[in-house]
Amino acid sequence: MGEYIIEMLNITKTFPGIVANDNITLKLKKGEIHALLGENGAGKSTLMSILFGLYQPDSGEIRKNGKPVKINNPNDANDLGIGMVHQHFKLVDIFTVLENIILGVEPNKMGIIQKDEARKKVLELSEKYGLKVDPDAYVEDITVGMQQRVEILKMLYRDNEILIFDEPTAVLTPQEIRELLQIMRGFAREGKSILFITHKLNEIMEVADRCTVLRKGKCIGTVNVKDTTKEELSRMMVGRDISFKVDKKESKPGEVVLSVRNLNVVSKSHGKNLVKDVSFNVRAGEIVCIAGIDGNGQREIVNAITGLERPTSGTITLCGHDITKASIRERSIRGISHIPEDRHKHGLVLDYKLEENLVLQRYWQPEFQNKGFIKFDAVRKYAERLIDKFDIRSGQGPITITRSMSGGNQQKAIIAREIDKEHELLIAVQPTRGLDVGAIEYVHKQLVATRDAGKAVLLVSLELDEVMDVSDRILVIYEGEIVGELDPKTTTLEELGLYMSGAKRDNAKEINDGREE
Amino acid sequence: MEGKNSFYNDNKLNIKKLMKSGVLSSFLSALVAVLLGLIFGFVIMLIALPANALIGFKHIILGGLKRIGDVFYYATPILMTGLSVGFANKMGLFNIGASGQYTMGMYFALYVGFMWDLPDGIHWVVACLAGFVGGMLWGAIPGIFKAFLNVNEVITSIMFNYIGMYLVDMFIQGNSAMYVSDKTRTQYLPAEVQMPSLGIPNSNVHLGIILAILIGILLYIVLQKTTFGYELKATGFNRFASEYAGMKGKRNIILTMAIAGGLSGLGGAFGILAPSGIAGSSMTYEPINIIAPAGFNGIAVALLGNSHPIGIIFSAIFISYIQRGGTLASLAGYKPEIIDIVIAVIIYFSAFTSLILEFISKLFGKGRKNKKTLVDNEIKEAE
């Protein structure tokens, strides 16, 4: 019986054209938090899907407590005590929290569900582990953080002792992340074993006991977290040194490019002020970051500037032109480039070819059309140039269907399109969300390069490291108001956190005056 | 050895290229749907009247060949409504109102035919254009509702089927110049308003089919080559991205629905202005409160043609072909409804396009994988 509760030995899994897992061995000790680290496409999810019974390995063996087991489907995995929180939650939106938790294992007497019994057990579990949920709320009405707690309760309700978390922090705010890591530590103390898939090094350093690193389907090694460093881990993951500090010179702010004055946005659905009297400037040659916890009005400010939504009142001026009521196309012509928050929803037509997406903002310009007919050879040439310049990788170059590309390369395509387009102001909303370390480094370099080319950059980010490293000036937003203006060189993460949580604020008047010159 | 490898690679690339273009795969899936539908139809014929099944089936398969003129004649209106439904579908709109637009187009054409006094050469042309305008109007209204009030176009266009049909019936019954009340049908149209016949014996096939095919090709060019087509497809695939890119979504919705309506309306004009084989008569319309079936057939045509204008040309001709064969099957003692069942089954299977596509790509995928391992083995041997 060794100390290992789960052993995955020499697992190999191939898909047509790719070896997703190449002879990987992963051993999970009882009661540990074991991180599985790797870039997008390194084979983490495949390996976990094998453990969860979604895929069968081509070769290799899985053992539980030293005994070989065969996991043909998720039910087998469940019987072995293996539970998984998927990256994209698998919940029924129109069911309540309680109904979702008991789904598939409903306690019943002759076919009649015994909800009270279930509710008691769920409330006990929720109490015990500090997983606050409302059992009668509908899943479609609750926050992403609470949905995740429902997924965790699902595992606990089934008495799972091996818990797989697939990139659980990707969708959470910093506060929720802290809570989650706390909860995971609690599980480990209880003797549950945790597999934690992530590519965020800070979280591994904070919570994990050991870490196995995958790269391009191969196992690079397993290390004790306390004997290693972030730099070491990232070298193992990417295969080269990654600089965490963004390399940039002092900014030289020039003319005001974007000026927002007394912006107010009132919610159509509940009449609340989502943005309250916000004023700020962004100058040429500087990166201004709007920092804040998700849902504090960032989206509404960006939508008002880009034209996706009309503000209730206030003015927006771009290079001296009032664009408050301009159409989206006019703003684009006047020099706004926009890297949207949701690249699948807004940024790309996924069923279009890469080349068609690369001209999404410019297809109507004389360079690409003549009397209403698209010049496809010009589009092709342009796409090839961007692909080359921005190192966008895809299966078939310009004619690749965008849906089939990796997330990182889809983001590169958007960045290429928005940066190469004539612009004075680049608005980047969470431009590194869901990207791996290498891609994040790339995006940050591009933002700084845009700034150095004399453009104004407005960055909206939830990642505190990104806020501190990339920006030249930080505006903190809390409940729709700008509550502070900070200099990343002199401020600390703690101070930033205080502003973000509303615990500290400067006089709004002062902030505005400070910027007015 | 090297030559062999490159042979495999070339082969692989060609199949891949064709599959990627999507044309081959949609064609194959339509073909599989057609085959399955025919097999199913044959089974039903076997059950209904076993002794005559073979001869009846032969009528269905080959019957259309004997009436090739009629195949194209009956294909004309459903080709137009098919293009209408398919075109709207490219923008993600479901134009279930083709029937109403068809009826409106027909009424406008009739009105110009009876009420306007125009020179011989251009009378039918103006009547066709009027049909286009009538359909456009009936398509644009659901479009406006969709664009400005976000009312689902399916609901409005279904309602507009009824509103259009009752309105037209009312107008026609109230107009003595157009209506013969004791025969409950419209008057015979003067010959100069009728479309020029193509002169194929025993058939009313007319210039409309050629115009319809040309319009199909024109739509293909619009969709593939123009900025309007680019915007339209982008909106159909992802409304949010098209808005983000500054496309005028509302204008495009109305324009698309108006064009789709116009196409159906033109179909209605082509239908009612068709020449008659008997001198001194013409096509007539009976205002008996029935929704024009051409609109719903258009949905079937568009589905089978995968909303692709060129595909729709072929699917309209095919459906018309098999319908002609179906009427002949009655010679072997079968009810003509049997062919409706066969068509329904074909459409049913073509709705499974994605499943069938997956099946096909699996077939090809397997072949490819085998080839790959073969090549790999050869490389290994070489090493």
Tell me the pLDDT tens digit for each residue of A156-182: 999 999 999 988 887 676 777 888 999
Tell me: pLDDT of B5 over 60: no
Written as six digits, the tokens of A11 are 């697992």
Of A398, A412, A386, A385, nearest to A353 (Cα)? Answer: A398
Q: How far is B37 from chain A (nearest CA, A)?
A: 30
Chain segment B24-60, per-residue pLDDT in tens = 767 777 788 888 888 888 888 888 888 888 888 888 8
User: When comparing pLDDT for A512 and B236, which is higher?
Assistant: B236
Provide the b/e sequence for A32-45 (b: ≥16 CB within 10 Å). Answer: bbbbbbbbbbbbbb
Average pLDDT, chain A: 87
Of the candidates A16, A330, A347, the beta carbon closest to that of B241 is on A347
Domain A4-238 maps to which CATH number in 3.50.50.60, 3.40.50.300, 3.40.630.30, 3.40.50.360?
A: 3.40.50.300
Of the candidates A16, A369, A399, the beta carbon closest to that of B227 is on A369
Report the pLDDT averaged over residues B215-243: 94
Of the candidates A16, A350, A364, the beta carbon closest to that of B238 is on A350
Low-confidence ranges of chain A (pLDDT < 70): 1-2, 17, 41, 171, 173, 242-244, 507-517
User: Which chain B residues are Cβ-neighbours of A338 within 8 angstroms?
Assistant: 244
Within the 203-232 window of chain A, which residues sit less than 8 Å (CB to CB) from chain B? none
User: Which chain A residues are Cβ-neighbours of B226 within 8 angstroms?
Assistant: 372-374
- A348 to B243: CB separation less than 8 angstroms, yes or no: no
Q: ipTM beyond 0.85?
A: no
- A338 to B244: CB separation less than 8 angstroms, yes or no: yes
pTM of the model: 0.76
| Polymer length of chain A | 517
Looking only at the bridges linking them, the beta strands covering A162-166 and A82-85 are parallel
Amino acid occupying residue A396: Q
For residue B116, how far is the Cα from the chain centroid? 31
Q: Give the nearest chain B residue to A363 (CA atoms).
A: B227
Q: Give the nearest chain B residue to A346 (CA atoms).
A: B241
- A345 to B20: CB separation less than 8 angstroms, yes or no: no
Residue A277: per-residue pLDDT: 92
Of B375, B380, B315, B310, nearest to B347 (Cα)? Answer: B315
Q: How far is A76 from chain B (nearest CA, A)?
A: 28
Q: Give the nearest chain A residue to B246 (CA atoms).
A: A329
Q: Give the nearest chain B residue to A417 (CA atoms).
A: B245
Written as six digits, the tokens of A13 are 């899994």
A350 shares contact with chain B (CB less than 8 Å)? yes
- B227 to A345: CB separation less than 8 angstroms, yes or no: no
A346 shares contact with chain B (CB less than 8 Å)? yes
Of the candidates B225, B228, B244, the beta carbon closest to that of A346 is on B244
Give all domains of chain B, ordered by start, each with its CATH number: 1-48+352-383 (no CATH), 67-339 (1.10.3470)
User: Which chain B residues are Cβ-neighbours of A372 within 8 angstroms?
Assistant: 226-228
Residue among A18, A368, A373 with most chain B CBs within 10 A, to mutate: A373
Q: How far is B20 from chain A (nearest CA, A)?
A: 9
- B237 to A352: CB separation less than 8 angstroms, yes or no: yes
A364 shares contact with chain B (CB less than 8 Å)? yes
Q: Are A50 and A41 in contact (CB under 8 A)?
A: no
Residue A242: per-residue pLDDT: 67
CA angle in degrees (0–180, nearest 5) for A45-A47-A52: 90
- B243 to A308: CB separation less than 8 angstroms, yes or no: yes
Residue A507: per-residue pLDDT: 66
- The conformational region for residue A493 under phi > 0 = left, psi -120 to 50 = alpha, else beta, is alpha
User: Which chain B residues are Cβ-neighbours of A373 within 8 angstroms?
Assistant: 225-227
- A352 to B20: CB separation less than 8 angstroms, yes or no: no
* SS3 call for A141: helix
Q: Are A458 and A306 in contact (CB under 8 A)?
A: no
- A374 to B20: CB separation less than 8 angstroms, yes or no: no
- B365 to A361: CB separation less than 8 angstroms, yes or no: no
- The C-alpha atoms of residue B151 and residue B170 are separated, in whole angstroms, by 27
- A351 to B237: CB separation less than 8 angstroms, yes or no: yes
- The conformational region for residue B22 under phi > 0 = left, psi -120 to 50 = alpha, else beta, is left
Give the Å distances, CA to CA, from A365 to A17, A192, A388, B334: 39, 60, 22, 60
Residue A449: per-residue pLDDT: 92
User: Which chain A residues are Cβ-neighbours of B235 within 8 angstroms?
Assistant: none
The answer for residues whose C-beta is within 8 angstroms of residue B219's C-beta and 6 or more apart is B83, B87, B309
- A338 to B241: CB separation less than 8 angstroms, yes or no: no
Q: Are A360 and A366 in contact (CB under 8 A)?
A: no
Biggest CA pair distance of chain B: 91
A335 shares contact with chain B (CB less than 8 Å)? no
Domain with CATH 3.40.50.300 in chain A: 4-238, 245-335+423-517
Residue A254: per-residue pLDDT: 87
Residue among B16, B244, B358 with most chain A CBs within 10 A, to mutate: B244
- The C-alpha atoms of residue B271 and residue A55 are separated, in whole angstroms, by 56
- From the CB of residue A358, how many other CB atoms can be counted at a distance below 10 Å? 29
Written as six digits, the tokens of A267 are 């919610």
What are the beta bridge partners of residue A162?
A82, A193
- The C-alpha atoms of residue A51 and residue B45 are separated, in whole angstroms, by 52
- A347 to B244: CB separation less than 8 angstroms, yes or no: yes
Tell me: pLDDT of B258 over 60: yes
A356 shares contact with chain B (CB less than 8 Å)? yes
Residue B13: per-residue pLDDT: 46
The pLDDT-based confidence of B203 (bands split at 50, 70, 90) is confident
- From the CB of residue B45, how many other CB atoms can be counted at a distance below 10 Å? 23
User: Which chain B residues are Cβ-neighbours of A347 within 8 angstroms?
Assistant: 241, 244
A488 shares contact with chain B (CB less than 8 Å)? no
User: Which chain A residues are Cβ-neighbours of B244 within 8 angstroms?
Assistant: 306, 308, 328, 338, 340, 346-347
CA dihedral sign, ordered A331, A336, A342, A345: positive
User: Which chain B residues are Cβ-neighbours of A346 within 8 angstroms?
Assistant: 240-241, 243-244
Of B34, B35, B39, B17, nearest to B364 (Cα)? Answer: B17
Under DSSP, the state recorded for A347 is I
Angle between helices A174-189 and A144-157 (to 10 degrees): 10
Q: What CATH number labels A245-335+423-517?
A: 3.40.50.300
- A352 to B233: CB separation less than 8 angstroms, yes or no: yes
The pLDDT-based confidence of B358 (bands split at 50, 70, 90) is low
Chain segment B273-285, per-residue pLDDT in tens = 999 878 788 888 9
Within the 372-431 window of chain A, which residues sit less than 8 Å (CB to CB) from chain B? 372-374, 376, 396, 399
- B369 to A16: CB separation less than 8 angstroms, yes or no: yes
Residue among A338, A360, A400, A402 with most chain B CBs within 10 A, to mutate: A360
Q: Are B275 and B206 in contact (CB under 8 A)?
A: yes
Q: Are B126 and B286 in contact (CB under 8 A)?
A: no
Report the pLDDT averaged over residues B189-195: 89
Residue % of chain B over a pLDDT of 70: 86
- The C-alpha atoms of residue A36 and residue A213 are separated, in whole angstroms, by 6
Residue B23: per-residue pLDDT: 67
Of B111, B297, B314, nearest to B193 (Cα)? Answer: B111
A16 shares contact with chain B (CB less than 8 Å)? yes
Biggest CA pair distance of chain A: 76
Looking only at the bridges linking them, the beta strands covering A4-15 and A313-318 are unpaired
Looking only at the bridges linking them, the beta strands covering A456-461 and A287-291 are parallel
- A349 to B20: CB separation less than 8 angstroms, yes or no: no
User: When comparing pLDDT for B237 and B2, which is higher?
Assistant: B237
What are the beta bridge partners of residue A261?
A315
Half-sphere exposure at residue A204, Cβ-oriented, CA atoms within 13 angstroms: 31
A498 shares contact with chain B (CB less than 8 Å)? no
A351 shares contact with chain B (CB less than 8 Å)? yes
Residue A172: per-residue pLDDT: 72
Q: How far is A451 from chain B (nearest CA, A)?
A: 23
User: Which chain A residues are Cβ-neighbours of B365 within 8 angstroms?
Assistant: 16
User: Which chain A residues are Cβ-neighbours of B225 within 8 angstroms?
Assistant: 373-374, 376
CA dihedral sign, ordered B329, B335, B338, B339: positive
Helix (H) or strand (E) holding A381: helix A376-390
